[in-house]
């Protein structure tokens, strides 16, 4: 099912542009966007008993929450308005990133919108969106997708943190009193489950892996490999794997204060360098995976000095 949302990598690029240029960044929420979109397919729904007498069905003219077509209908509606009415260009590599001729950038995440640019241009975009859609203007962004956005405009720096979400995960899995550890996983990684290994709660294991995955792709790339590796055993995890997953939580507890940053690169004179430099680093081992004799590759992409993917 199609859902219109910008990738977190794209969102980080938008934040990096904001920090570097000292732009304003605002957040807007569209009220019941799915209900105002025209539906092209022929769809019928059963009306509740007591409506119009006997049991009847109705043909939908607009999309509803719960229809698999609704996200696509909503995207088609707002995309047509942004491009056709406002003259904003859609991104080539991310269909939920839009830019205009003044350098403003708009990121769409379902019915949440981030807008960055100069104060004058942002004001115009916000007014045009409010005139078309019923919206809630949330002002300068401080929270987005469970992440806390911390802005230091004078230094042109933006920090983002999931400390509150990490505390919530620790509480949900009743590991708030666990001992912090220095590394997310031991050197000797667990392999496939053996017959004599005790099983663990499969649903609880998957739930924790999902929570850790969101933290990894959100603000903590340092646990990306560990979470990806432990996710290989989702089909049949053992008690050993469960212990390893809890160790990751212990690592996060001791490092939850860490916050990735996106900032402009300073010269020796203290002035910001112009332009954007995209750097990439990649490395691989040589068949260190004992069970499959496969190599493991890792990479990181930085825009200026901040990690974007």
Instruction: Say if CB 113 and CB 30 are below 8 A apart.
Output: yes
The pLDDT confidence band at residue 91, using thresholds 50, 70 and 90, is confident
pLDDT of residue 271: 55
Across the range 72-96, mean pLDDT stands at 89
Q: Determine what percent of the chain is predicted with pLDDT higher than 70.
A: 92
Strand order in the sheet with 157-161: 143-144, 147-152, 157-161, 261-263
User: Who's near 302: CB < 8 A, 6+ residues apart?
Assistant: 278, 279, 280, 281, 308
Residue 5 has pLDDT above 90, yes or no: no
The pLDDT of residue 53 is 65
pTM for this one? 0.82
In the chain, DSSP assigns E strands to 24-30, 44-46, 57-59, 89-90, 97-99, 105-109, 112-117, 135-140, 143-144, 147-152, 157-161, 261-263, 278-284, 297-303, 306-307
């Amino acid at each position: 099912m199609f859902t219109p949302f910008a990738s977190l990598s794209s969102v980080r690029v938008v934040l990096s542009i904001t920090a570097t240029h000292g732009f304003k960044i605002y957040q807007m929420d569209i009220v019941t966007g799915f209900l105002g979109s025209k539906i092209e397919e022929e769809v019928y729904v059963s009306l509740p008993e007591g409506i119009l007498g006997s049991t009847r069905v109705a043909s939908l003219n607009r999309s509803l929450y719960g229809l698999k077509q609704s996200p696509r209908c909503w995207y088609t509606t707002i995309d047509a308005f942004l491009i056709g009415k406002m003259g904003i260009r859609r991104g080539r590599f991310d269909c939920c990133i839009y830019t205009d001729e003044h350098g403003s950038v708009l990121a769409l995440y379902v019915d949440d919108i981030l807008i960055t640019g100069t104060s004058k241009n942002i004001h115009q975009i916000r007014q045009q969106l409010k005139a078309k859609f019923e919206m809630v203007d949330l002002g300068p962004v401080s929270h987005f997708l469970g992440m806390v956005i911390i802005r230091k405009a004078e230094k042109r720096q933006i920090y983002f943190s999931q400390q509150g979400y990490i505390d919530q995960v620790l509480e949900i899995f009743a590991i708030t009193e666990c001992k912090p550890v220095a590394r997310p996983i031991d050197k000797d990684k667990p392999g496939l489950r053996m017959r004599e290994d005790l099983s663990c709660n499969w649903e609880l294991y998957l739930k924790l892996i999902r929570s850790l995955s969101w933290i990894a792709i959100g603000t903590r790339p340092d646990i990306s490999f560990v979470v990806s590796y432990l996710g290989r055993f989702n089909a049949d995890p053992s008690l050993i794997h469960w212990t390893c997953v809890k160790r990751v939580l212990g690592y996060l507890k001791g490092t939850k204060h860490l916050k990735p940053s996106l900032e402009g690169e300073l010269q020796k004179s203290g002035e910001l360098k112009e332009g954007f430099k995209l750097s990439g680093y990649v490395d691989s081992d040589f068949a260190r995976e004992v069970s499959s004799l496969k190599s493991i590759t890792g990479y990181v992409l930085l825009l200026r000095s901040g990690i974007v993917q």
